[in-house]
Structure 1
């Protein structure tokens, strides 16, 4: 908030993060009090933010010194970007990267590096919230691709695969959706921007969308942290076993499906006993 003079009159102006301005009213005892309350709250929030930022930096240094994390930094940055822009509720991480959330919750590291070997993150878009998502993107005034490019400017949409963006190091971001149903549009373009993602339908993705959720804070090799929202470990096991049974599944992917399902089932049994694959 600030005072703005127009001629002989002063007005109290409130600005938003997007620099939109709104007049609160003429300078008076009432607006003076509003301004003083604002200044006091702002100082309190800034002090709290400084404290939290300092604590976060200490925790990151500790994570790095103790070799706590091993998630890719690019994954952390993408998740934090979605959270910062208020988009986390529209996407669920599925696929191999979900393993980082499971091992973090279990407090152990998955021993088989082959189980974690991947160069792409699969983001399942909740098409049930499509109108809310469109409104949010319109308010942000940007596209999904441009948001990802703020994490790494080298991300580009693949010409042969419009649901995938790849960066200069070969890391890919895939936007997945459930198979079209009800009033789902098809094809589904995330925004009206010229260069933008299309969400690709995935078999049985509706089951993942409707299933129980799971959330955990994951840590990168640099010590940075992010909250990952994903599917429950039980749903992961069931889905991977179903994938492995599909006759058109590539042999190498089928082998990895089984490996991942077995490892997550073992995590549940040994370290997450409140969950049960049999339920």
Structure 2
């Protein structure tokens, strides 16, 4: 492993500070999505005017007749909405400057497609239902440690997303707000994504990059198979042995930087859980010998990160 240069570390710290401030600003801005307006009755009588709150989806709710109290509600809401918008815009502009510096100083090395995918899942609220597992988790660990692992440890052309079956109803509601299918969400990231006919838990794009969606093994009254939406074409989530140990363990969150300087947050496993899982896979009798050696290598690499940095 190779430690980052001081100027790279400094730039990463500064960029993350702006990124996290923008995360908070966007969260606050969501509370003022939609709008408010004064609705006058058919006589256009001021006394018969009502304050109406509109949601992001167009739903409306009356907040009461016009009065000093509702006028204050209106003024406070509009002021907050204006302030939120200005703050998000200013921080977005600052983050763009940091993107350029990230790229110039070669701060990141994650594939831009991965960062774009994570950003889309975060923006739609779907990331709350997934954990990144597998090789891509190594990017989170090395970033937290401020080092670069050997490329042979990190090389991969797929990302594994572990889905929480217990939040299935909430997931379906959120997915319906942003698209008709999970595959549709991926297509907004890269239109070339298609499901593999031989394994419907995998989508692959024209460059051969794959997204796999996995779940814990069926327990009790769990449904199986599970399709992520009612759309004609969408993921069927595949069962993965020992996946429950990855889902119900402490998490790990880290802001990553792509080679083009863009940034996104990855939610994954804590490093110790990764090490235990990889050692279990490496010792499994049915595991391909080539993959077993790679599993052991990755477990050793993360153990070194834990011992020396994390």
Shared fold by TM > 0.5? yes
Alignment deviations for residues 162-192 of structure 1 (CA, whole Å, 9 cap, x no partner): 1011111111111000100022211011111
| Larger relative helix fraction | 2
- Structure 2's unaligned 5+ residue stretches are 1-35
- Match of residue 157, structure 1, among 179, 195, 215: 195
How far does residue 26 in structure 1 lie from its aligned partner after superposition?
Answer: 4.2
How far does residue 211 in structure 1 lie from its aligned partner after superposition?
Answer: 1.8
C-alpha distance in structure 2 between counterparts of 1:221 and 1:119, whole Å? 16
Alignment deviations for residues 227-272 of structure 1 (CA, whole Å, 9 cap, x no partner): 1111111111111111111222222212211211111111111111
Residue of structure 2 equivalent to 1:22: 61
Alignment deviations for residues 192-245 of structure 1 (CA, whole Å, 9 cap, x no partner): 121111110011111111222111111100111111111111111111111111
- Match of residue 129, structure 2, among 84, 90, 95: 90
Residue of structure 1 equivalent to 2:15: none
- Match of residue 7, structure 1, among 30, 42, 57: 42
- Match of residue 106, structure 2, among 49, 59, 67: 67
C-alpha distance in structure 1 between counterparts of 2:265 and 2:202, whole Å? 22
Does 2:35 match 1:35? no
C-alpha distance in structure 2 between counterparts of 1:11 and 1:252, whole Å? 69
Residue of structure 2 equivalent to 1:175: 213
Residue of structure 1 equivalent to 2:235: 197
Q: How many residue pairs end up in the alignment? A: 271
Equivalences for residues 127-276 of structure 1 within 5 A: 127-140=165-178, 142-272=180-310
Does 2:162 match 1:124? yes
SS of the residue aligned with 1:199?
strand
C-alpha distance in structure 2 between counterparts of 1:132 and 1:126, whole Å? 11
Give the conservation status (yes or no) of the 8 Å contact 2:162–2:215: yes
C-alpha distance in structure 1 between counterparts of 2:86 and 2:59, whole Å? 25
- Structure 1's unaligned 5+ residue stretches are 273-279
Give the conservation status (yes or no) of the 8 Å contact 2:160–2:212: yes
Superposed CA RMSD in Å reads: 1.7
